[in-house]
Structure 1
Amino acid sequence: MARTPEQVGIWLRGRRTKLGLSQSQIAELAGVSTRSIREIEHGRARSAHSPTVLRLIGVLGPDAEGGPVDGPSLRLDILGPLTLHVAGRRTQPGATKQSSLLALLALHPGTPVSLEEIVDILWEDHPPASSLNMIHTYVTRLRRLLAPAARPGEPSGGVLLRTRAGYLLDPGGDGHGSDAARFTTLASLPEDANEAYAQAESALRLWRGAVLQDMPSRLREHPSAVTLTRLRLTVLQAYADSALARGTSDHALHELRRTADLEPLHEGVHARLMLALAASGEQAAALSLYTALRDRLDDQLGVRPGPELTDAHLRVLRRDLPRPATARTTVSPASAPSTPPVVPALLPYDAAFFTGRADHLARLDALLPAAGEGPAGGSGVCALTGAGGAGKTALAVHWAHRVRDRFPDGQLFVDLRGHSPEGPVRPVEALARFLLALGVAAEALPGTPETAADLYRTLAAKRRLLVVLDNAVDAEQVRPLLPGGPGCLVLVTSRDRLAGLAARDGARRIGVDVLSPQESRLLLHRTLGAERVDADPRAAADLAHACGHLPLALRIAAANLDHSPWRTLEEHAAELRDGDRLSALSVTGDATTAVRGAFDLSYHALDAPARRMFRLLALVPGPETGLDAAAVVAGLAPAEAAALLERLTAAHMLREHRAGRYRRHDLVALYAAERLRLEETAADRRAASEALYSWLLTATGHCARLLYPGQPPLPPTGTGTDGDGDGEGPGDTVPPLRIPDAAAAIRWLDDELPNLAAAVQQAAAERHPASWRLADALRGHSWTRKTAVDWAALGRAALDAARAADEPVAQAAMHNLLGAAELHQSLPYAAIPHFEQTLALSETGGWPEGTAVALTNLASVNWLVGRLTHAAEYLERATEIDRRNGMPDGHPVVLLTLGITLRDLGRLTESLDRLLGAERAPRDLGSLHNGILTHANLGRTLYLLGDPARATHHLATALTMVRESGEQGSEAYVLRFQSSLHRDNGDLTTALDMATTATRLFDQDGEEYYRADARIALGSVLLALGRPGEADVAYREALKLAEERGADELRARALLGLAAATGLPDREQISRALDIARGTDHLLVEAEALTALAGAELRHGEAATAVARAREALAVHRSTGHRKAQADTLDILGRAVDATGEEDPAPYRTEAVEIFRSLGIPHGDRDPR
């Protein structure tokens, strides 16, 4: 029986004294307060079986008398193999059926188990006729076995009882005669973080394996066993979370690893194991674990990883992990170090004088999540639907401002332009904006819509965000923008009913109709003043009725009246009624005409210069207008234009979206276009458009020269809209360009890109040369903003215009843009026809610069798909054209690409010559990006040629340039080469760090070729570290990516890595790699495969074959000049001839050692590949 609280106190004092520990030391060990220890020692323990006492037993162990509890005379443990202790001695429970009966009863301590369940568990569907008699026999034997634990004076000893409901096992010990009971008590974790951590640790120590792991499956899979297992998972995850927060993740690694093996599809356990591995310095293992589980989920369940796992993956990639705690340091989860997340605040200005909508606001308030819960109703999506001008946006923005404090992680807003003349915003464009707002660097934006949506959902998964999606066209536009996190709430506005969003996505819909008469009157009260409205309430009602109670129309009407204080409400209402405008305002569902009368009055209340500005702004394409563009289209100085824009804003004809950027309601924009057609002559419209196009071309061309100085512009066409390129613009009144440097150029292009894209589309519809000239000027920017706009759509529109104009050079440029758009989507074969058209049309049109560009791009695509000989031929032709065009040494981009291609062809000396030429080229022909690549590839080629000192210099120069420019993609490119150099020199720690970082950065970029290449580099370092299992994972991932990409060179290299990762090299895989390499032009890879095959044949005891193979490989390596490969092959050849006994191996070994020494490689080391 249990001891009294006084006896528990005596036990604790005695145990503490014997171990020589103080009360505070005992408290720290057990994770409890010193006060709790003091209370227990003074005889004030709540129970001998309280969680605190049980934790003390786990920490201090029992003494000679057993512990603070008179060790239950019966102890039956099931958290692992079934074990039975009777009167302190371990006892065998008997034969299988008898043991199974005892295990079943142990799963229900203190609860009767029916005969039907016992029969079902013991014999399943085929019980013998004597099953009940056999059960009685087993019970009799068990009672004899348990007799030493019997409690005198109780029926049947009080241990194994027969009740009306069945058989009942009472192990005694106040319910703690089994490890399952003790675990259940400990699993109820306290709120104090430190105590919860210690108690969870004590609970997990009780587990020796799976529940009843030595019993038949029907017991192992019994619901009670499953419940215990699930409870253990809950405790383990809480323990792991606490360990991670405390910086002691290594404490949880063993339990997490063991559980991950038992639960191969449990995302929560694997997510925590990933974080624990990464926090313990095993980032590669953590990433490999993610890949393996992702593939299992796909193969076995057909699902993708959930938010918890993807969030852990992102944290590992970002190294967003707590630091390991120092000795004897306690860190609470709240104080765990982390990087503060970006908190976006994108809501527009709240509408002044917002009126009414009390019912709508209450219904929106009902959607707010309670503390610690998801949004009420479960969906987290609400749609405000109604006609244009009904005030949906004003309502959404007003409510969002009211509740913004309920979403501490930020508020996102985007105008989706669902009913805009420019066309709706593509979801990927909105995602790019959201990701930038959430802190993702522009150069790290994912390359595809799917990966952009994945990253968005991952970043939002554990945040409380309010997302406002304004003016959606349909449900398909909205769905990719739904974050999915339980703490997020999405508010959509649309003229569409969004029935699909309600049916499929569970969106709550709230209809937004016109204001009530009372609300309309209140709005007029607030905008015009109570005195003016109350002076003639009937006229106010008539005015509201004439405006159709549309908020937008009411506000415009009020602005007109405010501008004309002498006009009465009755007069204004009468003017609205004239000219059949009343019926126009009351047409149901036709928002375009519903407010025309109000717009007319507002428009005519403006002075002539403001009206002209309002009309001409209709010529500016895109979702918003900048001050400079407005000045250009109106032919005014910026100060004059700013004054007019202020007047339009005051009259509610414009809205200043942010400083110097103006937007109009869709209906106002349509009205402006109508006024433009009616009041401006065709000649005046044409002149204003020409001025705008000319200014856009001048500014965009200026940015292109700053950012991409080697990019050849299109030649002039004589149309007058080519952009003079001097930065002065088309006229004296045009504002000067305020773009002094590359950083300013990037900002200007990012701000104007949606408008520039719209300008291309508008000019294309007009068959204007500005369409293809603007599109071509944006060509360089398309490589760094791959998903910001639909580059393929721009290219197609401008191409149609160029064809209509019969301009072959323009068509060539647009095919070049379309080829680049295909490469953005990792579709090299689709890009080839476009670049071929660029080549043919450039030659037809006499544009040699375009011919060189086409040849260079064709070479790049052919290099990507393994056609190296074709690539080199294209590049040699491009070089000849550049030389004829005044570049005697060639263009640096062409020389760089040719140097890379020649290296892969095995022509290392020629490669070095071209790369040095690229380095010497004038700086005004190359960009910073190409300079980095040039130094990186010089380093790689020089190292292959056996010049490690110069190689190190160039790689270090490249990395310095990277760090100064912040180009993430270039950094990964350089680190990939540097990791191989450090690997060969024996600095494996640095090599692993560089290879891991390169892999992470390339994964963010999304380009399969480089993602695969980085994994091959990582695998080679892991092999050198003696971690073949992790290397195998990296090589398999690389092989999968290479196969998806169609990159045969990478397939061959990945197969070589996989072969090396096996204990005995796999000749079949090496032979496959050799066949693939011979099918391409990659001579270096072919020679590498020959060397690997020679080594494998030697390992398999085929020395003579290995000698022949090594001689063949050595001949190729000598022809290429690859020094390290020669040394590796000479080493194998020396060992092979030694094994045959037919030749002296010394010359081969001596030459190998000399090469290794010249490269700074210890001659005992071996290339792990």
Structure 2
Amino acid sequence: MKVHPLKYERELRGWSQAKVAKAIGTTSRTVHRWEHGQGVPYPYYREKLCALFGKNTEELGLLPEKNLESMDRASSPSSLPSSSEFVQPIPSLYDPAILAAPAGESALIGRDVLLTELKQQLLAHKNWALYGLPGIGKTALAAALAADPEIQHRFHDGILWVGLGTEPNVLSLLSHWATLLGISLTHVENVSNWESWGMAVHAAIGTRCMLIVIDDAWKAEEALAFQIGGPNCAHLVTTRLPHIAVTFSGPGVVEVPQLEETDGFALLARFAPEITTQETESAYALVRSVGALPLALTLIGKYLGSQACTRQPRRLHMAITQLQDAQQRLLLSVPASLLERSPSLSPGTPLSLHATIEVSERLVSEQARFALRALSVFPAKPNSFSEALALAVTGEGTHVLDELCDAGLLECSWSDRYMLHQTIADYAKQSLTGTDAYKDVYKRWILVSVNYVETYQNDYEQLDLEVNNLLAAFDASYQLEQHQEAIRGVCAFAPFLQARGLHTVAREYLQQAYSVAKPLRDPSYIVTISSFLGEIASILGANAQAEEYLRDGLALASEHGDQVHLCRLLSSLSFLAIMRGHPAQAKAYAEEGLTIARLLGHRKPIVDLLTWLGWAAYDQQDYTLADTYYQEALPRARQINDQQALCRVLIGQGWLATALGNYAQAEAFYQEGTTIAHQLQHRFCLCLLRIGQGWLSGRQGNYAEAEAATQEALELARRMHAYELTYRSLTSLGWLAEKRGAYTEADTYYQEALILVRRHERPQLLCMVLFHLGKLRLKQQQFEAAAAFFQEMFNRVPEGDQNLIARAQSGLKQVTLIQSHQAEKRDDSPRLKADTYTQS
């Protein structure tokens, strides 16, 4: 192989590479690269070399356009290979300050797509910026990009790296780059001025093709001081602060997202593989508790790995249990190398979540710090809270929220909503707890939340946005013994929770309110809560409990002569009786309540009570009376513009029209009711409507439509834990499955319905599902099983229910008839089919 002219001239004189490097102010490694064709000296060094050797650039083989055949052409930009034939080159200048990039088993987890996108963008743009939360992995991404072979080949003249931090010595850092580039002091106009160093570095870079990475920037001016590459260079900056990213690179900005939960678990498992078999659920809970933040997961993972290496499951379990405490997670630290530490951390400060977040907090005003702590009362990300609530809780102006956003401590999710990452929320909450301001902040939050509910109690769209925040405030109100506020808030919020089908949630908070309302001896609140609890318990199938709540409330209202609440409780008792299948009792309660409501002139209770009377009359198959009640209720509901009450009337009218065979009219009622239910997002009403539409389609022979509507109703009923509606949907789906001959599927629906009614002790419903199962067994020619179902039905019929007795007897007679015919037939006789008899 032909020797490079530069090497030939050096060896001819007996000089070492180190002597040449010292003479011209560079490193022996750089001289070695020049001699092996791995780079070309800048004009400055070319002049130095020519003077040293007494030769021109061509004689020394230093001109790019005159590269000798022995030189590696991969270093020439004009001969870059395609990605398919790519071979990793050695950059001319690879800054030793560059962090070691994760590779192999340590490669970044969950960042493959992002890395690919960033690489393509970096190759296509001059400047790019990464920003995001502290500990999100911005530096790790930059290091991975710097180590990427394709990036190194594209920027074949080298990569420079600088870590700034909050208080960088710009002059020292620029002089470090100058040393790498071989710039002597004589070529710096003013060695005490960082701008002079920057100009010298810029001149030395010249037209070289280099990547310049500026890590952990906190001020735009400092980041821009290192934006000194030439026309063939690209710059990459990392920062926590979005405005710096935009200032540095304009549209070339990427926000680094948090990891997916599964990737976070994989990161933990990398350090402690034992969690995949021993502590899976607890490990996933840890991932969620830190919002899948890579730094937090790395610290936790290393700690868990150190405990797991003892091979004692007890120690791993204890470590995970310990880390369930937020303060333990914040203060957890593990040894880290000098290069792994953020330049923002003070010397000697252990690498921890607390120290990492504290860096950001120190740079904002005292007002902003207090606001951050106040905002920690809200549930953390992915929950969000409105700007209005944030301002009310902090007592500060929008400029403070802007300051927190600019510092990367508060995220703006959209227009006027904000989020706190889990780790930042934990940090702020720990800073608030135990301070003099602690109780004041929480009391203000509770009062703000109660006022919010009372203001927007009829605006469900507004309440939808703040559900988690309001429930968290009510939880805090009990902990701080703010009982009056808790009761007010829960009572105002209960109708919304009912409308959304959150019955179990509503019951939990109402029961808490009930327990603290009783000692206060406020009959108004006790009666109101009793009414809500009774209605919800009846939907959930807890009928005995429902009646107990309602009767307690009724007695209290009667004792105090409270006619308003007496009317409401009678309405709730009527609804309970309907849900329990006692229409006569429902009618009696509703008529008593209606008399009171008419005397009081209260229009809404009148509509509700007329509706229950209509439903009771329908259950008694007195369709004319039911229609009379609905005809009065409908215009009243429209007049008072109570959409929920109107929807319930339309449901009753739809069921009635279906029973009477007025299908077009029924469809019209259901359509109007469905529109209202969707607008209100009232799941209970929507479920009733879908059950009714399924029944209507089934009556018309449109079984596919019937099944689709009923399946939707079943899903809604399950979500609401609505016992009665779940039962109705299951039995309807069983009947529809029978219609298409899917007997096994029908049996599954009926068996689930049977379990449900046995659990809730509803004799009428039990008898009906037993009847369905008996009929199904007849079709399956399982006659002994059919007889058993009909016999149990007969034994369980409530006293006096002649309709159910007749059905049970009819089923038993059919079984007897079939068995007698079978006994008369011989083996050569045609086999009788069960359907012959079930049609009678």
Normalised by the length of structure 2, the TM-score is: 0.53
What is the 5 A alignment of 1:955-974?
955-959=670-674, 961=676, 970-974=685-689
Tell me which residue corresponds to 1:699.
Answer: 452
Which moved further from structure 2: 627-636 or 1020-1029?
Answer: 1020-1029
Asked whether 1:642 is paired with 2:398, we answer yes
Q: 1:913: Cα distance to partner?
A: 2.7
1:674-697: per-residue Cα shift (whole Å, max 9, x none)? 44449xxx9xx4xx8776555433
What is the CA RMSD across the aligned residues, in angstroms? 5.6
Structure 1: 5+ residue stretches without partners? 1-354, 372-392, 406-462, 528-539, 564-605, 708-742, 1103-1164
How much has 1:772 moved relative to structure 2? 0.7
**How far has the Cα of 1:864 moved from its partner?**
3.3
Q: CA deviation at 1:1000?
A: 5.4
Secondary structure in 1 matching 2:457: helix
Residues 790 and 1027 of structure 1: CA distance in aligned 2, closer, same or farther (over 3 Å)? closer
Whole-Å Cα distance in 2 between the matches of residues 928 and 557 of structure 1?
A: 53
Quote the residue 2:472 is aligned against.
757
Partner of 1:514: 333
1:627 and 2:387 are equivalent in the alignment: yes
Q: Which amino acid aligns with 2:798?
A: R
- 1:887 and 2:602 equivalent? yes
Mapped pair 1:1054 → 2:766? no
Residues 915 and 692 of structure 1, relative CA distance in 2, 3 Å threshold: same
1:1019-1039 per-residue CA deviation (whole Å, 9 max, x = no partner) reads 334445566565444433432
Query: For residue 655 of structure 1, what is the aligned residue in structure 2?
Result: 410
The residue identity in structure 2 corresponding to 1:700 is: V
Provide Cα deviations, 1:770-817, integer angstroms capped at 9, x if missing partner. Answer: 111111111022225566995455334434443443323223334445
Taking the aligned partners of 2:332 and 2:788, their CA distance within structure 1 comes to 72
How big is each residue's C-alpha offset from its partner over 1:718-776, in whole Å with a ceiling of 9 and x where there is no partner?
xxxxxxxxxxxxxxxxxxxxxxxxx3x244333xx334432453266333421111111
- The whole-number CA distance in structure 2 between the counterparts of 1:896 and 1:1046 is 26
Query: In structure 2, what is the Cα distance between the partners aligned to 1:983 and 1:949?
Result: 14
Question: Could you tell me how far 1:549 is from its partner in structure 2?
Answer: 5.0
Report deviation, 1:481.
6.3
Tell me by how many angstroms 1:550 deviates: 4.1
Q: Does 1:771 align with 2:523?
A: no
Indicate how the Cα distance of structure 1 residues 692 and 506 shifts in structure 2: closer, same or farther if over 3 A, else same: closer
Q: What is the correspondence of 1:797-812 to structure 2 with a 5 Å cutoff? A: 797-812=512-527
Residue 1078 (structure 1) aligns with? 798
SS at match of 1:661: strand
In the TM superposition, residue 1056 of structure 1 has moved relative to its aligned partner by 1.9
Q: How does 1:663-1062 map to 2 (within 5 A)?
A: 663=420, 664-677=424-437, 685=440, 693=446, 695-707=448-460, 743=461, 745-750=462-467, 753-762=468-477, 765-785=480-500, 790-819=505-534, 826-844=541-559, 847-887=562-602, 890-923=605-638, 928-945=643-660, 950-959=665-674, 961=676, 970-988=685-703, 990-995=705-710, 998-999=713-714, 1002-1003=717-718, 1006-1025=721-740, 1030-1061=745-776, 1062=778
> What are the equivalent positions in structure 2 for 1:234-245 lying under 5 Å apart?
none
SS in 1 for 2:411: strand
What is the CA deviation profile of residues 808-864 of structure 1, one whole-angstrom value per residue up to 9, with x for unaligned ones? Answer: 322333444555665676544334333333333444555544433333333334443
Q: How many residues align?
A: 555
| TM superposition shift of 1:1045 | 3.5
Shift of 1:1013: 1.5
The residue matched to 2:456 in structure 1 has which SS?
A: helix
Task: Sort the Cα spacing of 1:655 and 1:773 in 2 relative to 1 into closer, same or farther, 3 A.
Answer: same
Structure 2: distance between partners of 1:795 and 1:816: 10
Alpha-carbon displacement from aligned partner over 1:277-316 (angstroms, at most 9, x marks no partner): xxxxxxxxxxxxxxxxxxxxxxxxxxxxxxxxxxxxxxxx
| Sequence identity percentage | 15
Is the 8 Å Cα contact of residues 856 and 874 (structure 1) preserved in structure 2? yes
The separation in 1 between residues aligned to 2:373 and 2:316, in whole angstroms, is: 40
Residue identity opposite 2:669 in structure 1: H
CA distance in 2, matches of 1:1015, 1:827: 19
Separation of aligned partners in 1, 2:503 and 2:144: 28
Q: 1:968 to 1:649 in 2, by over 3 A?
A: closer
Go from structure 1 to structure 2 and tell me whether the alpha carbon gap of 1:622 and 1:361 turns closer, same or farther (over 3 Å shift): farther
Compared with structure 1, are the counterparts of its residues 615 and 1099 closer, same or farther at alpha carbon in structure 2 (3 Å cutoff)? closer
Give the Cα separation in 2 of the matches to 1:614 and 1:555: 12
- Structure 1 CA distance for aligned equivalents of residues 503 and 798 of structure 2: 40
Counterpart amino acid of residue 556 in structure 1: E
Give 2:247's aligned residue. none
Structure 1 residues 240-255: aligned runs within 5 Å: none
Q: Report if aligned partners of 1:701, 1:777 keep a CA contact under 8 Å in 2.
A: yes
Q: 1:894 to 1:1002 in 2, by over 3 A?
A: same
Deviation for aligned residue 1:931: 3.4
Aligned residue for 2:806?
1090
Q: Tell me by how many angstroms 1:643 deviates.
A: 0.8
Task: Assess, with a 3 A threshold, how the Cα gap between structure 1 residues 508 and 806 changes in structure 2: closer, same or farther.
Answer: closer
Residues 1:1019 and 1:824: Cα distance change in structure 2 (over 3 Å): closer
> Is the alpha carbon distance of 1:1044 and 1:872 closer, same or farther for their aligned partners in structure 2, counting shifts above 3 Å?
same
- Report the 3-state secondary structure (helix = DSSP H, G, I; strand = E; otherwise coil) of the residue aligned with 1:705: coil
Q: Secondary structure at the match of 1:769?
A: helix
Structure 2 distance, partners of 1:800, 1:356, is: 62
Q: Aligned pair 1:556/2:358, yes or no? A: yes
Relative to structure 1, is the Cα distance of residues 466 and 842 closer, same or farther in structure 2, using a 3 angstrom cutoff? farther
Aligned-pair distance for 1:700?
A: 1.4
Over residues 902-951 of structure 1, what are the superposed CA-to-partner deviations in whole Å (9 max), with x where a residue is unaligned? 33244443333333333232347575455344323223234445655644
Equivalent residues in 2 for 1:427-506, closer than 5 Å: 465-466=262-263, 478=282
Q: Is the 8 A contact 2:654 2:669 kept in 1?
A: yes
Report what 1:189 is aligned to: none
The answer (yes or no) to whether the contact 1:556–1:651 under 8 Å persists in 2 is: no
How big is each residue's C-alpha offset from its partner over 1:392-419, in whole Å with a ceiling of 9 and x where there is no partner? x9657779999999xxxxxxxxxxxxxx
Report the Cα offset of residue 628 of structure 1.
1.7
Q: Is the Cα–Cα contact under 8 Å of residues 469 and 478 in structure 1 kept in the other structure?
A: no
- In the alignment, the residues of structure 2 paired with residue 516 and residue 1025 of structure 1 have an alpha-carbon distance, to the nearest angstrom, of 68
Partners of 2:539 and 2:724 within 8 A in 1? no
Amino acid at match of 1:1090: A
Contact 2:501 2:719 in 1 (8 A): no
Could you tell me how far apart the structure 2 residues matched to 1:655 and 1:821 are? 39
User: Structure 2 counterpart of 1:811, which letter?
Assistant: I
Partners of 1:642 and 1:966 lie apart in 2 by 33
Task: State the TM-score, normalized to the length of structure 1.
Answer: 0.40
Cα distance in 2 for partners of 1:394, 1:993 equals: 49
Q: Specify the SS of the correspondent of 1:514.
A: coil
1:910 to 1:631, Cα distance in 2 relative to 1, 3 A: same
Query: What's the CA shift for 1:1089?
Result: 5.1
Judge conservation of contact 1:860–1:897 (CA < 8 Å) in 2: yes
1:1041–1:813 distance in 2 versus 1, CA, 3 Å:
same
Q: Give the whole-Å Cα distance in 2 for the aligned partners of 1:846 and 1:840.
A: 10
Residues 1027 and 647 of structure 1: CA distance in aligned 2, closer, same or farther (over 3 Å): closer
Instruction: Give, as a single letter, the amino acid of the residue that structure 1 aligns with 2:398.
Output: A
For residues 622 and 829 of structure 1, the distance between their equivalents in structure 2, rounded to whole angstroms, comes to: 36
* 1:824/1:765 CA distance change after superposition, 3 Å: farther
Equivalent AA in structure 2 for residue 705 of structure 1:
N
